[in-house]
Amino acid sequence: MRIVSVVGTRPQLIKAAALVPALRARHHDVFVDTGQHYDEAMAGAFFAELALPRPDHSLGVGGGSHAEQTARMLLALEPILVAERPDAVLVYGDTNSTLVGALAAAKLGIPVAHVEAGLRSFDRRMPEELNRVIADHLSCWLFAPTPAAVANLAAEGITSGVLQVGDLMQDLAARVAAEVRDAAALAAVASSLDLPLAPGGYAFATVHRAENREPSAMQAWAAILADAAAVRPVVLALHPGTRAALDAAGIALDPGVRVIAPQGYRTTLTLQLHAAAVLTDSGGVQREAGWLRTPCLILRDRTEWVEAVAESAGRIVVVGLDRRRAADEMARLAPADDALRLAAERAATMDLAPAGAAEAISVALSAAG
């Protein structure tokens, strides 16, 4: 089968790194990067680190409002699909790149395959929710990562073409887990970042979602990070858009919050594994924390990854922007007097198996082709 795969963001590159080898073993894959994450720190370095092939087509579309970005991507992608004449277009996740790939293909009568189909936050204020719902309703193949995702699709009347395959990101995390589990991996990261990091001696944080860039939300999560930093340093890998929003609002972070640029895949996994706890609004990071068994506070009111929370034995908690609850959960999950021991035990006993999602997707597309 001739497939055009559309990516555009860091999480999509991670998923593609897991899927592309299996996909190319059976299919002819044409790789398109929209450029939605358009700087080297956000996406460029991932190609080399994850051994991803350089894109066959780079659209170079980054920045702008949702409407501007979506329109420019559509204009750039449509002629590529017309020229490539694929049997299917494969999209990942819930970004504007996902929406554009699905919409452009459907308008041209090209079947769509959606990886991570069926996820729902049930909050239509989120652009990601709109993107994923539209992509699912346009897709012929819906590769769902979890039973809840399958159930969500069925509730919307979508049963044909649905296949539960597991989580691609778990496949990749399992592939590199052995490289990040030793304390020496953290020492190397600490040296490269010029930060004094020890297992269990810091918390790791990321914040990037649009709702968490509103001034009131930024004030709230900045206070949560400040409380965490009163116990141990917080390493915040800060999205450029979030940094710009903080600057525009004149919001300063606590001195105990050490801001770093978004990091590569292995560095991010290393920082998560050896942290006392993770604070994040990222779906990918919360799942990775779950697989690594690192305590995780979700800085949102709800999550699409309900199984990650339910199966975490209380290690993953949705706290939203509730400062008191966040402080209480940090004290419970990462006690100041025991965090070092817990982090060391977690790394020493980590045994992460792949989900097998990449092979399942590739085989399913072979059967269809």
SS (H, E, C) 9-56: CHHHHHHHHHHHHHHHHHCEEEEEECCCCCCHHHHHHHHHHCCCCCCC
CA 251, CA 317: separation in Å to the nearest integer?
Answer: 26
Q: DSSP string covering 305-327, please?
A: -HHHHHTTTTSEEE-TT-HHHHH
Query: Any alpha helices (H) in the chain, and if so which ranges?
Result: 10-26, 45-49, 66-84, 96-107, 127-138, 147-155, 168-180, 183-193, 215-229, 240-249, 265-273, 283-292, 306-310, 323-333, 339-349, 357-368
Write down the residue that tokens 């949705």 correspond to: 318
Query: In residues, how long is the chain?
Result: 369
Choosing from 114, 208, 239, 274, the catalytic residue is 208
Q: How far apart are CA 7 and CA 9, in angstroms?
A: 6
CA torsion sign for 183, 187, 190, 195 is positive
CA 268 to chain centre: 11
Q: Are 93 and 305 in contact (CB under 8 A)?
A: no
Distance CA 23, CA 165 (A): 14
Question: What number of other Cβ atoms are within 10 A of residue 121's Cβ?
Answer: 19
Q: Could you give the CA distance from residue 254 to residue 265 in angstroms, rounded to a whole number?
A: 26
- Measured in degrees and rounded to the nearest 5, phi and psi for residue 364 equal -60, -40
The answer to whether residue 57 is catalytic is no
Nearest Cα neighbor of 332 from 312, 314, 308, 310 is 314
DSSP label at 149?
H
**Alpha-carbon gap, residue 181 to 176, rounded angstroms:** 9
Between CA 124 and CA 106 the distance in angstroms is: 22
Active site residues: 208
